[in-house]
Structure 1
Amino acid sequence: MPTYAYACKSCGHRFDAVQSFADPALTLCPECGGELRKRYDSIGVTFNGSGFYRTDSRTAPAEGSTAASGGATEKKAAAPAAATGSD
């Protein structure tokens, strides 16, 4: 569930609230009862684990593999030639 930041327009009280996406936004300050507004501050994003960067999730292709040598394209080109020989 996401955490939303709120600030009171009257007294300036700031706090965070953990709410579901379906929950309505808070409107009353718990300190003074004044009107609240959502705060949109810059946040720090952290991606943990492997797979978020190309160098983390892939290894160098082994020598002689079909992806490195283009063997897959050679097989595709050979298949139509074999089919035309059966006239």
Structure 2
Amino acid sequence: MPTYQYKNLNTGETFEVSQRITEKAWTVHPETGDPVKRLISKPGIAFKGSGFYVNDSRPSSSSEG
């Protein structure tokens, strides 16, 4: 289940919530009733090293002919 980050618009507090993808985003904090907004954050995966670039899987241009 993905974890989403929310920001309380009144206090500026941020918190995380595990929700299903099919669930709608929260608009109010469940405990305080304050308005909240879902934040967009970077994905938790990074591809590093060789083998993850387009030019690594293509034949070199010198062999084309």
Q: Hey, which bits of structure 1, 4+ residues long, moved more than 6 A?
A: none
Q: Distance in 1 between matches of 2:21 and 2:43?
A: 18
The residue that corresponds to 2:4 in the other structure is: 4
* Percentage of pairs with the same residue: 31
Q: Which has the greater radius of gyration?
A: 1
Give the match for residue 28 of structure 1: 28
Please, what TM-score do these two structures have when normalized by structure 1? Answer: 0.46
Paired residues, what number? 50
In the alignment, the residues of structure 2 paired with residue 23 and residue 30 of structure 1 have an alpha-carbon distance, to the nearest angstrom, of: 15
CA RMSD of aligned residues (A): 2.3
Structure ranking higher in strand proportion: 2
Structure 2 unpaired stretches of 5+: 52-65
Q: Give the structure with the higher percent helix.
A: 1
